[in-house]
Structure 1
Amino acid sequence: MRCAACARSAPAHTSAPRTIPGRVWRDPEIVTALTGWEFGAAFRRIRQITPLSQDDLAALTGLSQSYLSALESGNRRLTNAERIKGVLGRLGVPPHAAPTLVPGAVAHPAPAVPTEVLSEAVWESPVDVARRLNTTTASNTDPTTLLVLNEGISDVVERYETEGPYRLAGEVLKLRHYTDELLEGRQPPRQRETLFKLAAQASGLLGYMAVNAGREALAEAYCTEAEDLATHIGDRELIMWIHGTRSLNAYYAGRYDEAVARADAGVAIDPGHPQAIRLQVNGRARALGKLGDAAGAERAIAAAEDLSQRHQVPNGLTSCISFAPYAMARTLANAATAHVALCSPKWVLAYANQIDELVEHSDSAWSRALVRLDVATALITGDRPDIEQAMMLGRQVLRADGGAPIRSVVQRAGDLHRIAAPWQDVPAVREYGDALREWQAAPQARALVKSAKISRPTQQTEQMRRAADAAHHRPGSLPSQSSAQHH
């Protein structure tokens, strides 16, 4: 036996049990640090309230003492999921204290600790408290940086319909990479949540741009990344927006059942949310129109219009890539597109007429192009086909200086020519065909044409072509010069 003096003079760590006391997992600072992936702060706090040294923690966690020291000082971060799971398992971290992004990190219950150890009070010095406070609130991201990143996202949204994905994707990639660099450092929880949202928005924008550029697989990868980031911070509105972009991707790939399912999943999150307007009319109505489900498409359009009346939606014609809810003009433009697929030319013209002035005076060359192509298709498939007017609208789209084309414009321009096939001997149709071939020969348009041919089923276009053919052979249905209002 040792005398009392020898026992008191012995180093504390030599008699300390190499286990984690159960009370540790009830300490609010430790729980907050672990669930926030601040493992260095958690290890430092464990040592402050227990007799354990860094060497003891190294033996328990399987990490080196030098690595633990770097974690505690903030010079290193533990980010590898598999490594984290192993460390938490060896420490016996209970479910309530384990990070939510590391599933299965629960291990066996913490072993019992002698009563005399639990009863010992471990006090800190005022310097320890001050040092911990400074470390906990330290950040590599100031408010100005977050503001600049947010303004960068907003600026891309505003410029998108005039500059397009080919010119802006590089800017968004830089924003996305910068958020990753910042997330490697330290931030208080609110700043970190803001960075996660900005990263999710940047990935979402890249996903939408990839859809417009005909990069289907890349679009899905970006959307998966964006949804995972948004889910981590519980941003339901952004998750709904991402479901809408995934629905759009499936739609342009010709997978209309999947497009409906993606939109349905988004609506299910919050059916009364303003983001459900886009999901109903752009996701459900258009895809159901392609599937020939007129009743379903009409219900989706009605739901979108009802939500637009219940909420204060933006005025004018919002950018197609905006995170804001759909404005009424964009809702009606999508309703017109749904009725194109349903071969309901009167409804197409009615919806287009309601938004004619807004579309014509907007900065969105793509919106003008898409509405004109929808109207041109309606003019061909109506009771009195107006071939001259339809082809004139088509040529306006091809001549317009709208920048680089996007997938939807390329597809609809090609569909218009196929639907006009019964009138191929009419000079206006031949002129449109010549102009279309020249327009499609441009490098970016050529790539999109190839993508459209690979992924788009022709059944719906053939149905419209047959409707046009029936109109062509209907008695008294000679091409009219003025059978519909000029658009």
Structure 2
Amino acid sequence: MADTDEIKGARRDLGRRLAQLRKATGHTQHGFARLVQYGRSSVANTETGHQCPDRAFWVRCDTVLQTGGLLAEEYDRIAERAQQQHRRSATEAARTIPGPATAIRIGLDSAGNDGSVLWEHEDSIDARRLVLKSCNDDDARLAYLEDEVGRAIADNERLPPAVLVARMRPLRTYVDQLMCGRQHPPQRARLYSVAAYMSGLLGALALDLGAFRVAHAYAAEAFDLAEAAQQRDVQAWARATQSLIAFYTGDYHDALAYAQDGLRRGGTGPHSIRLTINGKARALAHLGDRYAVDKAVDHAFTALSDYPSSAQASASLALGPYCQARTAANAATAYLTLGSGTDVTTHLTTAIDAFDAAALRGPQALSRLDLATAYLNRGNPEPEQASALALEALTLTADQRYESVSQRARHFLATARPFAQQPQLRQVAELLGDRTQIGAQAPPALPSPS
């Protein structure tokens, strides 16, 4: 449905406003286009009102021009007026359809009976088709959002959590606005799934930053959205994220319950390994059930054979199956809780190499802290080597400050109390108390994170 002159004029005004702000800040069209990651012709056509880019364009313009969201807010107002006008036009079209007086009368039926059947006029059917087609989403927009989710999940543990939060919150708001519009059922399921992944990721990032109540709220929202989408794989993914957050907030029974429900919903799907090893095994370890931990670990490693191996380490919030390194690292964490040092070192041998190669700082640090704690639990403790590993872990995550790393470091220091006079242990305690003291660079012996 074509836009009215009023809407076209409002978009031209918005384009002129962009041009004014761009010029006031000294940006050329070419330089500005590079900053917002659009073509120069797109910027030029938008400023003259000949092109109507989506909301993501205006959000990037606000970021570069530091307008405080001014352009995106005006875009939202125009989009809302356009939607209202489209709905009014569709309603008016339906009202002008000929009524029963002009309907088609059918005389005798095949049996010779005068049924006087009145059919709807074809214009009435066409009007309903018009409403059906008035959808505010298309496959290109949904594909863009799905790509953004995948990119953000891949960047998790590579970029500081606050950086990803700043990237994802405007997108989550944008998706929420789209959800208020009209979509066909398959598109709506995709949109709700995207929203579920975004909320789940924001929940995990809130956990990384120590905002536990916000993390729980986001994760619960992620599951509700996945359930509304009626996508069982997405439900399983959301349950795995809820289990992760419950684990780090000390709610081990909840962590286990979420993992078990995720397995019921996802079956043997791609999230079964994560739910089993990250959810069940670690929670069961804290609940003291060694037999169940062994069973969960065996099941997770057996399930790995159902999926092709990959040279890359999977993401912590992977949309696909967990890799060998992730599975081994989570098994090590479970066995560390049970006090089984041999199982810890065995599982971590290959995991640390994989995480170092992938430059995933969170897993690099967590694996080192688990191995450091295992060194203290040996029959012949090695506090010096353990302290060196702990220092490496805190150095690797100096910029990120993951809550999970802080918790694991506190557990390490509690285990190290008998060796409190060790100078490096005191340094670990000082660095944990004030993470800003740590330099951003890793020790020379470690791979340089990219």
Identity of aligned residues (%): 32
Residue 73 of structure 1, CA deviation: 2.9
Q: Is residue 283 of structure 2 the alignment partner of residue 287 of structure 1?
A: yes
Code of the residue aligned with 1:166 in structure 2: it is A
Q: Residues 146, 423 of structure 1: CA spacing in aligned structure 2 closer, same or farther, 3 A cutoff?
A: same
1:254 paired residue number = 250
Match of 1:158 among 147, 151, 154: 154
Is contact 1:369–1:409 with CA below 8 Å preserved after alignment? yes
List per-residue Cα deviations over 1:337-390 (Å, max 9, x = no partner). Answer: 111111111111100112232122112111110000000000010111111110
Deviation by residue 1:37-93 (Cα, 9 ceiling, x = unmatched): xxxxxxxxxxxxxxxxxxxxxxxxxxxxxx9x9679369xxxxxxxxxxxxxxxxxx
Letter in structure 2 aligned against 1:198: V
Report how many residues are paired: 332
Q: For residue 361 of structure 1, give the secondary structure of its aligned residue in structure 2.
A: helix
Equivalences for residues 400-479 of structure 1 within 5 A: 400=396, 403-439=399-435
Long gaps (5+) in structure 2: 1-83, 93-114, 439-450
Q: 1:139 to 1:378 in 2, by over 3 A?
A: same
Q: Is the 8 A contact 1:252 1:408 kept in 2?
A: yes
Is residue 204–residue 223 contact of structure 1 (8 Å, CA) maintained in 2?
Answer: yes
Tell me which of 260, 272, 278 is aligned to 1:276: 272
Which of the residues 210, 225, 233 maps onto 1:237? 233
Alignment partners' CA distance in 2, 1:413 and 1:259: 21
Q: What is the root-mean-square deviation in Å for CA atoms of aligned residues? A: 2.3
Are positions 1:379 and 2:403 aligned together?
Answer: no
By relative contact order (CA 8 Å, sep 6+), the higher-ranking structure is: 1
Q: Secondary structure at the match of 1:122?
A: strand
Larger Rg: 1
**Structure 2 CA distance, aligned partners of 1:295 and 1:236?**
29
Distance 1:368 1:127, change over 3 A: same
What's the offset of the Cα at 1:438?
3.2
Q: 1:74 to 1:178 in 2, by over 3 A?
A: farther
**1:316 paired residue among 307, 312, 316:** 312
Give the gaps of 5 or more residues in structure 1.
1-66, 76-118, 443-487
The 3 A distance-change label for structure 1 pair 270 and 184 is: closer
Query: CA offset at residue 395 of structure 1?
Result: 1.1
- Indicate which of 177, 180, 188 corresponds to 2:176: 180
Structure 1 contact 211–248 (Cα < 8 Å) conserved: no
Q: Match of 1:425, as an amino acid?
A: Q
- TM-score (structure 2 length as normaliser): 0.69
Q: CA deviation at 1:397?
A: 1.6
- Give yes or no for contact 1:316–1:329 (8 Å, CA) kept in 2: no
Paired with 2:243 and 2:364, the residues of 1 have a C-alpha distance of 23
Pick which of 295-304 and 124-133 moved more.
Answer: 124-133
Q: Secondary structure at the match of 1:185?
A: coil
Aligned match for 1:73, one of 80, 86, 90? 90
Q: Secondary structure at the match of 1:214?
A: coil
Of 208, 224, 227, the residue aligned with 1:228 is 224
**Aligned equivalents of 1:145, 1:346: Cα separation in 2:** 50
1:360 match? 356
